[in-house]
Structures are given as C-alpha cells and as structure tokens.
Structure 1
C-alpha cells in the first residue's frame, strides 16, 4: 500500500512541539491521547475481524495510547488483553491505565500470544535499540498480525540509526503526521503498510510525502517552445543521453536537442554531432539543459559543464557532472540527481538521516537535490523536503537514472519552481514504473 500522499512529516522533536502547540491552542494532551487510542481501536478492530487482540503497553505515552485502545475495544465487545512491560511512568499513561478495568499481564516468556498484537510499547522517543530478554520475547510473537502504534518498537523514528526491530509491523498507524522512519530505509521496510490517523495535530508542511501529481497537459495556446525546449549534452556513452532526451519528450518537453549524439531513440529528437553546443546554450528559447548521463569525469565534461553554467541556463546535473559543477553551483538554477555513491563522493562530510543529508546538500549548493534510491528524497535550498517512499523496485536497473534526469529536464524547461519540477519528475518516474511493473528496463519508460 502506498504511503499516504502529501502528508506532513515531523521529527520526534517537531512532533513534541506540535503537540505542545495543540495543547496551548486548547486541545489537551489527554484529548490527543483519547483520539489516538480511538484511531488504534478502529484499526485493530478491522484487522482482528472478531479474533482476539493482545495489546503490549510500554511505560510512556505510547503505552497510554494502548490502554485507551484496550478500553474502547472492550466496550465494542472485542476479546482484548493487555500486557505491560512496566508500570506507567507519565501522568497521561497512568490515567489511561486507571481507566482500563481489566487485568494487566507481564511481558515475559510465559506471555500467551493472540492472532492480532498491538505494539504500543515505545513510540518516537526511543533512544536505544531493543535487546536482551525483551527482544527475544517479542521475536517470539512476530508470526502474528502486528499493528504498530506510531512506529514499530525498536525503530529510530527520526531515521538516524539502522536499528532492526524485533517485532516488524504488518500495519503501522502513524498518529497525526508521518515520521522519518515511515519513509526512510531500512525502517520503512519494517513498518509494513502505513496508515495515517488525523488526531488534530497542526503540522509544518516543509517536509512531506510525495503528493499525488496530475499529468502536465498542453493547452490550446501551447506550442513546442512554450512547452519547454530542452538540451541534452551527450558524452562518450551516448545511449544514456539518448534515454534522457527521449524521457524529456515523454515527460512533456516540446522540443528536445541531443547535442553530441549521432543517433536518437525518436526521430522527433534533434540529434547533432556537437559543434552547435555553444550556440544551443545561447538560444533564448532554451528552458533547461541536462548534462551527465553517460558522461564520465574528464576535461571535456568540465568544459561542457562550465559552458552551461556560464550560459546561465537552468541545469540538470547527473553523475560526474555533479562533481564538475560543485565549485560553481549557486550561480544558476540547478537540479542534482545523485545516487548513494555519487552523493557520498560529492558530500563526504554530511551526516544524519537521509533527509538531513539531502537538506544540507541543497542548502550548501543552492541547488535542488534528488537523493535517489528506493527511498528517494528531494530537498530544496530553502528547507522544503519531499520523501518519495515507496518507489518501484523495478527501477533498480541500469539507465533509469538517465530517464529521471531527462524527466527533470522536461519539467524544469517548462518553467516554474525547480523544486516543484523535481517533485513532478520523480512522481512521473515512479508512476511510469508502476504502470509497467515486473521486467521493466529503462527503455520501457520512454516507450510507455
């Protein structure tokens, strides 16, 4: 199931601040807990379909949500049990525990499982991985249907650390907003299907999941140049540039020039041997240039990147072209499309979660950064972020990055904000891959 579209994402600290702001505006934290517990109740009720439910409660407010859900499920007539790791340690959790009239079992090796287990042990505040007897006990329950409250226990909610939870979830119910763990690997794999429960949190939307994107369509006043003229500079491996050029046409550019390529996948692409590169860069109709696909590091690449920057045209920079451009970025509008290895080479000093590293790279360079991967992150210099998990695993094949670069060029050539162009290109790329499905190769994306 896809992640909820266009949903805000907050770190643990930002979530605590949003909860405090909600309380200051008149909604008490106990009311938020009641809403969270009601959402857990609805989800567990549907998952169980009449089967018994076991709720595991921790000592904090995540456990409090579990106690509320247990009370509400019993009121509905569900066969529900509660097991606790420790007594409640917060006022809110204690009040929720007192409102639960049933027995509370210990979590130990003698705990009897149930077909559906609600993991309300630890939420976003966990500071260390689960280990020892608790982890062993939880692993013994992992063959049941698991509903995680907010995040699976043992996951770093902010995506900094690669902790492996002992109880991966089949369904994770995000409370109020998404968290970085829901959209970043490896944590996202352990969240299963992520559902979002709106509980009244008003969140900053600077960081969000991939929105649902409408296809860009020409109108009655469109012609090939105002739809976007795009230039792709070919290197020694001209097939990669040809993929980028063809993707530009498929993604909506009205006029595409392949400079330095003898051949092109489509006859509608203007393929030139390369002598006109400088002249093409000077064309006032040119909306964007793409450099890097199939173009390894060389003096020729350095010259071509420098010429494009000097021309002042919006750029899409892929692979080795990113390194060639780094010293001069900030002078032009640019989208960078590194994969993991290219990102590490260009920004070896950046640390933190993938979101934090992408954001830092965008701020440093003044460019929009598409940090590619199964959990692609798009970051703007002004701090905006879109996380595009899940993509399509079939995109893990040669040439698909060249296609994405071409789609970025098309979206950028059409005018408007570079970050919006990058988000639209990633959305187009993923949607095309999902339509094609198993067996996809890069050429399929340009022929779809």
Structure 2
C-alpha cells in the first residue's frame, strides 16, 4: 500500500510538538517554520495582491504575525488586524517582530486576500457570534482566502462547526492533517487542502488519509481460481445481488458465482448464476474450499428466508463481507452475532442500528465498533472511514456527491468482496475497494447511475498497475 498521509487529533499534535521541543528546538522556531510554510503558499497563490492577516491571541495568531512579516518582506501590501493582545510567549515574540501597525479586527477594512489566523487546532468552543459574523464578512469580501491550520470555529477532532464558518479557498494544515480536515461538515469549508511540512514526526500515527493504492496484475501462471473465487449470496431483490456480482467480476477477481433466489438475465455471461431455493441450497453451493470471499446483503431481504440464507453463509467458513440487509438482520441479534473477522459496510443508519449511538468523532466511533465486532468496518458516507480492530484507520475524503444514488453501495460491496478474494487481506481489500469506488465515480463524471461505475473500473485498476 502506498505511503499515506497521517491524521492526528489535537492531543496527538500537541504531543508531537512536545517531542520536537524535547530535541532542543525552541517553540518559537516551530512557529517560524509554520509561518514560513503558510506564507509560501499564500505567496504562490496570491502574489503581491493586498493582504489582511487576522491574528488571534494564541499561537495560531503568532503564526499569522510571522506570515505577515515574511510576506511584507516580499513586497506584499500587508495589514494585520488582531483580536486583542497576544497571550503566549511565542505569539508575543512574533508580534514584537512585526514592525507594522496592528488594527482592530472589528474596524479593519477588507482586502483582496485574507488570512484567518485567529484560532487553530484545539478550539473547544465557538466564536462569539459578532466575531464569527465579522470573519465571515471579511472572508466573503476577499478574492483569495486562507485558513491557517483550521478555519476558526471548527472542532479539531470531530469536524463539527462550533460557530458560523466561512468558505475558504485554501486551508493550510500545519505539520499533519487533523481529523477535521477529512471529516464532515468541516471538510466542506474550503476548496483546496494543503499540508505544510514543519518537521513534525508522524511515524507513529495509526490514522491516515486514503491514498491511491498500488495494484498488481495477475502472475503468468495464475488461473481463475488462484486469482480469487467470489460468491455473492442473493435474495429478494435479484438486481442488487446482480449489481454486486458485476462489481466483483470487474474487481480483478478470477471468477464470480451469484447464488440467487431468482434467476435474472443480463450482464456478463462470465458470471455463473446458480439458483438456490433455500438455505440448504445456499449451504450446498458454498461447500467449496476454493471460495476466497462470500458477500451477503445486497438485495437479501429481511424475511425468514433471508435470515436462513445469511446463517448458511456465516457457517460456511469462508471470509465474509456483510452489507445492507445482512447488517440490518444482524442488528436485531446484537454485536455478538457478528462473525469475527468479517468486513462490514454500514451507512449511518445501519451503523447506529448495529452499534448504537457511540460517543466521539466518526473515527472514534468506527474504531470502537471495529474493536467490539472484531471486524473491519467501512463506515460509509462522504467522509468514509475504514477501521480495523487493531486501531488502524483510513479516511477517504472528496468523494463524488453523485454517489448518492441507488446501487452504488452494492457496487462497493462487490468490489470489497472481489479485492478480498484477490489479496486475502481484509484491511487492504477495504482500502483498495473504497479507492476504486471513488476513482470510478470520478471518471464517470456527473449524473451517473451505479451501473456506469462498472464501465470505469478496469481503467481505475489499470491506473494503479
């Protein structure tokens, strides 16, 4: 898997900074690094356009004073507006190094460019409404806007908006991404996200941003079974199972069998459709050691027959991917009924039915659910989180809003089963499938239907070979 980008909580970021200071690097040196990195980004984006830097009382405001000083030295017409006095030793030093005047934020005139350096990581409460309105007005009047580390008013760990937050052109993450950079609704508060390296060691991070994974073609001696045999156990809605089967067939797996309650036409002839009249037939058809992954859930139904089919799959001994109706059926039985080692793909409603209203951020909830179920979770949404019982997690951001259409979840489930059959690695399979799903959507463009994703999958896979 390719090198991913670390995501830290506010507490982890503070600990990482303290580790830097413990090596003898002064706190103010780190502020200079942060300010210089952000100033470079502003310079490249906005050049010598007039700039207003809004500085808060803490170290985020200190970063702002460094930005202002460095850009003025490059000939940028810079003004600074502050929210009262600086209150930390480093921010006081940065302010003292700024040779220009400091305006009051409530009376400062707008500018073509604006930098929000009021409050960054660690904010625990929203801005005063008058200040929030002022920030929104000044940002709206600027043609170029930048948030330093995080927009003021964003909760670092949950991504919640603690007060009104304007839309920025660029958000500059300092040192590492924070949870709020990838989680909704905060991830929708800027057009572009850039992480600036300031010398923070993030090698111990267990949560990362999902990045394009390397993939590999079949080996010369591979055949359909060595490449991975997938079973999709269908039920009441044959079309959903068929869609998932098609996705698995386009995932790189060697062979797909659709064990269906009702036979349907259409689709690739390479998919073997086998009619199963009941749970006994399902169990008999799954009695094949060559299966590398079994998917249950898309179109399964919620009646007694569906329950029996699910149970037949769960006792088959094959690696499981559980989606849609399978998750709803399991929710009525409790977490202990979830087979250990499965891959679960719940959306928000299914997650709550399975695990209840867990506390914390979406990342926290996903990790706790994965631990309780001893399963890999793909907690779906516009900020999908993949979580493992051992504490690893990946966040996928920026997915196409056009994915909010019927059947795309069936495609994802089929991809997960296919990649599990290919790789044999549950976490890797979840990451690869989620990335391929998003990339296929990107290639499909606008107003697609779920079937259109299937057409884009071969090119998406080829792009990573």
Same fold, TM exceeding 0.5? yes
Q: Which stretch of structure 1 is more off in the superposition, 276-285 or 253-262?
A: 276-285
Q: TM-score, normalised by structure 2?
A: 0.92
List structure 1 segments (4+ residues) > 6 angstroms apart after TM superposition.
none
Aligned residue number for residue 220 of structure 1: 220
Q: 1:115 aligned to 112, 115, 119, which one?
A: 112
SS in 1 for 2:177: coil
SS in 2 for 1:311: coil
Q: TM-score, normalised by structure 1?
A: 0.95
Whole-Å separation in 2 of the counterparts to 1:382 and 1:165: 36
CA displacement at 1:47 relative to structure 2: 2.2
Q: Give a deviation string over 1:342-390, Cα, whole Å, max 9, x none.
A: 1121122312211111111111101111111111111111111100001
Whole-Å separation in 2 of the counterparts to 1:216 and 1:238: 32
Whole-Å separation in 2 of the counterparts to 1:18 and 1:334: 34
CA displacement at 1:192 relative to structure 2: 2.6
The gaps in structure 2 that reach 5 residues or longer are 457-465
SS in 1 for 2:446: coil
Q: Does residue 101 of the first structure (1) align with residue 102 of the second (2)?
A: no
Q: Does residue 166 of the first structure (1) align with residue 165 of the second (2)?
A: yes
Q: Does residue 336 of the first structure (1) align with residue 333 of the second (2)?
A: no
Whole-Å separation in 2 of the counterparts to 1:198 and 1:206: 18
Q: Structure 1 residues 141, 114: CA separation in 2 closer, same or farther (over 3 Å shift)?
A: same
Aligned residue number for residue 130 of structure 2: 133
Aligned residue number for residue 415 of structure 1: 423
Aligned residues between the structures? 444
Asked if structure 1 preserves the Cα contact closer than 8 Å seen for 2:5 and 2:209, the reply is yes
Aligned residue number for residue 273 of structure 1: 275
Aligned residue number for residue 76 of structure 2: 78
Asked if structure 2 preserves the Cα contact closer than 8 Å seen for 1:59 and 1:90, the reply is yes
Whole-Å separation in 1 of the counterparts to 2:377 and 2:161: 23
Aligned residue number for residue 355 of structure 2: 347
CA displacement at 1:218 relative to structure 2: 1.3
Q: Which stretch of structure 1 is more off in the superposition, 44-53 or 384-393?
A: 44-53
Q: Structure 1 residues 161, 177: CA separation in 2 closer, same or farther (over 3 Å shift)?
A: same
Q: Give a deviation string over 1:229-286, Cα, whole Å, max 9, x none.
A: 0000111101000010000011111110000141352110000111542133221110
Whole-Å separation in 1 of the counterparts to 2:282 and 2:216: 28
Whole-Å separation in 1 of the counterparts to 2:390 and 2:328: 22
Q: Structure 1 residues 327, 184: CA separation in 2 closer, same or farther (over 3 Å shift)?
A: closer
Q: Give a deviation string over 1:295-350, Cα, whole Å, max 9, x none.
A: 22222222222222222211111112124345455644211111111112112231
SS in 1 for 2:289: coil
Asked if structure 2 preserves the Cα contact closer than 8 Å seen for 1:130 and 1:166, the reply is no
Aligned residue number for residue 462 of structure 2: none
Note the 1:360-379 alignment, pairs <5 A: 360-379=368-387
Note the 1:18-417 alignment, pairs <5 A: 18-108=16-106, 110-143=107-140, 144=142, 145-159=144-158, 161-203=160-202, 204-260=204-260, 261-263=262-264, 265-274=267-276, 276-325=281-330, 326-328=334-336, 331-417=339-425
Q: Structure 1 residues 216, 249: CA separation in 2 closer, same or farther (over 3 Å shift)?
A: farther
Q: Give a deviation string over 1:140-168, Cα, whole Å, max 9, x none.
A: 21321210000000111111634343333
Q: Structure 1 residues 221, 25: CA separation in 2 closer, same or farther (over 3 Å shift)?
A: farther
Q: Structure 1 residues 183, 304: CA separation in 2 closer, same or farther (over 3 Å shift)?
A: same
Asked if structure 1 preserves the Cα contact closer than 8 Å seen for 2:159 and 2:179, the reply is no
Asked if structure 2 preserves the Cα contact closer than 8 Å seen for 1:7 and 1:178, the reply is yes
SS in 1 for 2:189: helix
Q: Give a deviation string over 1:209-244, Cα, whole Å, max 9, x none.
A: 011123442121221111110000111101000010
Asked if structure 2 preserves the Cα contact closer than 8 Å seen for 1:247 and 1:406, the reply is yes
Whole-Å separation in 2 of the counterparts to 1:104 and 1:223: 71
SS in 2 for 1:170: strand
Q: Which stretch of structure 1 is more off in the superposition, 126-135 or 155-164?
A: 155-164
Q: Which stretch of structure 1 is more off in the superposition, 418-427 or 262-271?
A: 262-271
Whole-Å separation in 2 of the counterparts to 1:216 and 1:340: 33
CA displacement at 1:394 relative to structure 2: 1.3
Asked if structure 2 preserves the Cα contact closer than 8 Å seen for 1:142 and 1:166, the reply is no
Whole-Å separation in 2 of the counterparts to 1:436 and 1:166: 32
The gaps in structure 1 that reach 5 residues or longer are none
SS in 2 for 1:409: helix
